[in-house]
Amino acid sequence: MLIIMFFAIGALFIIENNNLQMYEKRDFAEFSRLYTAWLNQIYKNAQFLTGEAVKLEWLLNEEDFAHEKNKSNL
């Protein structure tokens, strides 16, 4: 439900920010172009974030574990 609301609100922002009249064929075509470009940008950003998250070190290695253990013993 939250995802549907996100995309619906995004569509409303596109319509409002570009002063589009959805009953006009030309404006509807412009909306379609802008909405598709927005969805494409969301997809690209998700790919980038996923790629960066995969590169992160998520588990402690033994050096990090020993460092954390020494900090807690102080």
Cα–Cα distances in angstroms (integers) from residue 37 to residues 46, 48, 60, 69, in the given order: 14, 17, 40, 49
The count of structural domains within the chain is 1
Kindly write down the DSSP assignment for every residue of 34-60, as one continuous string: HHHHHHHHHHHHHHHHHHHHHHS--S-
**pLDDT reported for residue 19:** 94
| pLDDT tens sequence across 47-70 | 999 999 998 888 777 776 666 666
Domain assignment of residue 65, given as a range: 2-73
pLDDT at 73 over 70: no
| pLDDT tens sequence across 5-47 | 999 999 999 999 999 999 999 999 999 999 999 999 999 999 9
